[in-house]
Amino acid sequence: MLKEFGIGLSLILSICLVCQATEPIFPYKYNIEVLPNGLKVITIPMESNGIVAYYSITRTGSRDEWEPAHSGFAHLFEHMMFRGTEKYPGPLYDKIMTELGADANAYTTDDYTCYHLNFAATDLEKIIEMESDRFIDLKYNEQDFKTETGAVYGEYLKGKISPWFVLYEKLYDTAFDKHTYKHTTIGFEADVKAMPGMYKYSKSFFKRYYRPENVVLLIVGQIETARTLELIHKYYGKWQSGYVAPQIASEPPQTAERIAEVSYPGKTLPILMVAYKSDAYDPDNRLYIAGLLLEQLAFGENSDLYKRLVLKEQKVEFITANFSVNRDAKLNEIYTMVKSEDDLDYVREQIYMTMEQFKTEVVDDTRLEELKMHLRYSFLMYLDTPDNVAGNLANYIAITGGIETVNQLFANIMTVTAVDIQEAAQYYGMPAKRTVIILKGVES
């Protein structure tokens, strides 16, 4: 029928893609307001059966731990923030949250620390009061601090039970020389072990980084924007500015491949990690955006490599990739669990060859357009609840400080060409930018 009207299917697809590239992908209206003290507030009203998601995105993560022998404090404060205040001590905070039926939790990454709650909209003012209280007037004594730092060291030791923990610790330490991405989110073991004696330093860390200019509030759900902002001004308005930016050293360009092996004191299949130095997140960097698509085309579940190594030859348990979406340049990672140690070299060569293939061959246009559509609609599908909306936006907000980047990112994704993919492979896939880690289990 399309041919009868003189219109080809490819033209229809092209028209649709042009339309979608010019329309914002984010489907909800939102409001942004910045208080006089620098606190940014993003409100997104949406129908949600009376549920609200409340995210306090603190733009400090392990990346900001620039002072020698002081790694791990961003993660520590994920714990300390639940110690409470004079008005709401920790046990009382927990009790009230339970009575409200609120789900309160937190997580730390390399670029930010996020405190998030889900609760009934009728309790909005109480939540705002309590959250502002702990961000402004957090209180803990030296014994509380020692107790929590001990728990964090226990968490570190527990993490070492996982071969992936051991692998990533070795990867970052090998790949980076100067930048704070050299340590994992939980920190170097020696630093974590020494934390109990750093009570005074912890006060300094909180004073410098837990300031309104460094926090973005993201409130999504059954809310009324004007009333919500009125409450934010009421409870957060007294918070004093004073953020002190970290002095993060730039990472020198990597000039040669780095290879390291690490032993895991237990039983595990060999794990192979091939990582390439990336760029900082930038939706206007065409090569960077093309690299995000390259991740799926070359190493995703629909890639030729996956079909060969996982399904046909059954050499590996899985193979996947995770290309960097970070505030500073980090790593594009390809990793796999190999079934036999004898196949490690073969699998590694297959990964190298795949990257080389994408440098010289032009990807099929239809396949590329299908991937764009898949990424677009996958993002939209997970915007169905307040918590999913906030959770999907948190990383972008933490990196850029705003929500506008999401529309910019997906608009630029829709314009990536097959030649862009080829150039991204050539740029990011240089052997000199590569760090390879091989983990093998050693049974006791």
pLDDT tens profile 365-422: 999 999 999 999 999 999 999 999 999 999 999 999 999 999 999 999 999 999 999 9
Distant-in-sequence, close-in-space partners of 314: CB < 8 Å, separation ≥ 6: 339
pLDDT of residue 216: 98
Count of Cβ atoms closer than 10 Å to residue 415 Cβ: 13
Q: What is the mean pLDDT of the chain?
A: 94
Structure tokens at 238: 């007294």
pLDDT class for 12, splitting at 50, 70, 90?
very low
* Residue 440: Cβ-neighbour burial (10 angstroms; 0-12, 13-18, 19+): middle
| Identical fold, 31-236 and 258-441 | yes
pLDDT value at 20 more than 60: no
Q: CA nearest 394: which of 155, 136, 55, 71?
A: 55
Contact 116, 53 (CB under 8 A): yes
Distant-in-sequence, close-in-space partners of 433: CB < 8 Å, separation ≥ 6: 254, 276, 277
Q: Bigger pLDDT: 21 or 261?
A: 261
pTM for the structure as a whole? 0.92
pLDDT value at 304 more than 90: yes
Under DSSP, is residue 315 helix (H, G, I), strand (E, B) or coil?
coil
For the chain, the helix, strand and coil percentages under 3-state DSSP, each to the nearest 5: 50, 20, 30
pLDDT class for 443, splitting at 50, 70, 90?
confident
Percent of the chain with pLDDT over 70: 95
Taking only the tens place, the pLDDT of each residue in 214-225 is 999 999 999 999
For residue 297, the one-letter residue type is L
Whole-angstrom distance between the N-terminal and C-terminal Cα of the chain? 69
pLDDT of residue 150: 96
Rounded to the nearest 10 degrees, what angle do helices 405-413 and 365-381 cross at? 160
pLDDT of residue 22: 56
As a whole number of Å, the CA-based R_g of the chain is: 24
Taking only the tens place, the pLDDT of each residue in 225-238 is 999 999 999 999 99
Structure tokens at 6: 């003189």
Rounded to 5 degrees, what are φ and ψ at 279?
-115, 165
Percent of the chain with pLDDT over 90: 94
pLDDT of residue 15: 36
Contact 385, 31 (CB under 8 A): no
pLDDT class for 18, splitting at 50, 70, 90?
very low
Count of Cβ atoms closer than 10 Å to residue 322 Cβ: 13
Contact 203, 80 (CB under 8 A): no
Considering the domain 258-441, what is its CATH architecture?
2-Layer Sandwich (3.30)
What residue segments make up the domains of the chain, in order of their start?
Answer: 31-236, 258-441
Sole residue written with tokens 């608009």: 411
Sheet of strand 40-45: strand arrangement: 31-34, 40-45, 215-221, 51-58, 113-120, 103-108
pLDDT value at 252 more than 80: yes
For residue 329, the one-letter residue type is A
Rounded to 5 degrees, what are φ and ψ at 125?
-65, -40
Structure tokens at 50: 């009376």
For residue 91, the one-letter residue type is P
In the CATH hierarchy, which fold is given to the domain comprising 31-236?
Answer: Cytochrome Bc1 Complex; Chain A, domain 1 (3.30.830)
Spatial separation of the C-alpha atoms in residues 185 and 240, rounded to whole Å: 28
pLDDT value at 156 more than 60: yes
The kind and range of the H/E element at 55 are strand 51-58
Work out whether the CA dihedral 166, 172, 177, 179 comes out positive or negative: negative
Q: Which residues pair with 218 in a beta bridge?
A: 42, 55
